[in-house]
Amino acid sequence: MSFRLLLLILVAFYLACVLVVHLRGREKLKFRRQVFDHSGFFAPYNVLMYAFSKVANTPFPERSQFPQLDALRDGWQTIREEALHLFDEGYIKAAEKHNDASFSSFFKEGWKRFYLKWYGDPLPSAHALCPNTVALLETIPGVKAAMFALLPPDSKLNPHRDPFAGSLRYHLGLITPNADTCRIVVDGREYSWRDGEDVVFDETYVHWAENRSDRTRVILFCDVERPLRSGLLGRFNHWLGGVLGRATATENVGGEHVGLVNRLYAFADRMGERRKRFKRAFPRGYKLTRAALAIALAGWLLLPLLPR
């Protein structure tokens, strides 16, 4: 088999997987967007997850299939007390150093978070500030990530799908308007948060959220490892989730571990800000610099083609 034929087969397989993800469910994003973004990158892996999933491939899997999460729902008032303290003290906030790539677009809408754990051990600040919640989470190995997530009044998170199907999403209402004006819509199906009530949903379906009330919403937000029919695949999924989690880890307070992806994201953000400042201060110099770089790149590409 020639290299060119192998490459064509791989590209066709990749596009077929993206198409499966795209056609899954009633709600769709633009196909072109999914080919080139991170959800497209994970499409072959996600198709494997759907094929071996123990739970039904539906926007809202049956909550009864996750009995291990009952402990969180039963202890919701204890969790709420610690969330209230964090909220009152201003610990639930956006990433101050622009080092949280996973939720960067949410911050623009006023969404805020406080990490309890992220595909690894609980954060030191979580141990110190909400020890009861952390202790409860540590009794449930299937919970790979957890945070308090805040959605302010009159805000909306636009339609999106999360890229990684190795987990499912769990929400537990803690401080909510207890009204249908504060809701999440997953593949066209609505769920309104209520204090002490919980839900499991598949975040790789297109979903969006809004808070049209005049009250702030705070929930416990968790990633739960997807149950799989293959033990070997389950162990691989657990390992891969850990690798991705360590790369995308970030901090609540200064000094906590920040993964490589978020360090690079923060660096790119700083470089972008410097570029903008240079453009504002020296608009003509900025244009000349761009033109010079374009000419240099074109020369580097064309140089091997020139006769010698």
In terms of domains, do 32 and 70 share one? Answer: no
* pTM confidence score: 0.88
Residue 137 and residue 245 in one domain: yes
pLDDT score at 286: 60
Integer Cα distance of 121 and 124 in angstroms:
9
Domain membership of residue 246 (yes or no) is yes
Based on the fold, state whether residues 207 and 293 are members of the same structural domain: no
Do 106 and 134 lie in a common domain?
Answer: yes
- pLDDT value of position 35: 65
pLDDT of residue 220: 98
- Does residue 305 form part of some domain? no
Nearest to 116 by CA among 53, 170, 44: 170
Dihedral, CA of residue 273, residue 276, residue 280 and residue 282, to nearest 10: 100
The CATH number given to whatever domain includes residue 230 is 2.60.120.330
Q: Which range (14-18, 71-75, 125-129, 145-149) has the least confidence?
A: 14-18
Residues 189, 247 within the same domain: yes
The alpha carbon dihedral of 77, 78, 79, 84 has a sign of positive
Of 89, 211, 68, nearest to 144 by C-alpha is 68
Four-residue CA torsion sign, 241, 247, 248, 252? positive
d(CA 73, CA 27): 30
Q: Are residues 81 and 174 in the same domain?
A: yes
Task: Indicate if the alpha-carbon torsion angle 28, 110, 209, 84 is positive or negative.
Answer: positive
pLDDT tops 70 at residue 170: yes
Structure tokens at 203: 């975040």
pLDDT digits (tens, 9 = 90+) for 83-110: 999 999 999 999 888 889 889 889 999 9
pLDDT of residue 214: 96
Sheet bearing 155-160, strands edge to edge: 155-160, 207-211, 182-186, 189-192
Task: Work out the burial of residue 211: count CB atoms within 10 Å of its CB; fewer than 13 is exposed, 13-18 middle, 19 or more buried.
Answer: buried
- Region 204-231: mean pLDDT is 97
Q: Do 231 and 268 sit in the same domain of this protein?
A: no
User: Using CA atoms, how far apart are residues 77 and 197, in angstroms rounded to an integer?
Assistant: 11
Q: Would you place residue 58 in the very low, low, confident or very high pLDDT band (cuts 50, 70, 90)?
A: very high
Count CB-CB contacts under 10 A for residue 263.
16
Q: Give the number of domains in the chain.
A: 3
Do both 221 and 158 map to the same domain? yes
Q: Please tell me whether residues 125 and 180 are part of one structural domain.
A: yes
Query: Within 13 Å and on the Cβ side, how many CA atoms surround 42?
Result: 17
- Is it the case that residue 308 has pLDDT exceeding 90? no
Owner of token pair 């291990």? 68
Give dist(CA 186, CA 204) in Å, integer: 9
Let me know whether 180 and 286 are in one domain.
no
Burial string for 236-247 (b: 16+ CB within 10 Å, else e) reads ebbeebeebbee
| Assigned domain for 147 exists | yes
Confidence of residue 268 (pLDDT cuts 50, 70, 90): confident
Give 221-237 pLDDT, tens digit per residue: 999 999 999 999 999 99
Quick one: 288 and 209 in the same domain? no
Structural domain boundaries enclosing 198: 63-258
Measured between alpha carbons, how far apart are the two ends of the chain, in Å? 36
User: CA-to-CA distance for 219 and 192, rounded, in angstroms?
Assistant: 12
Q: Is 127 in the same domain as 16?
A: no
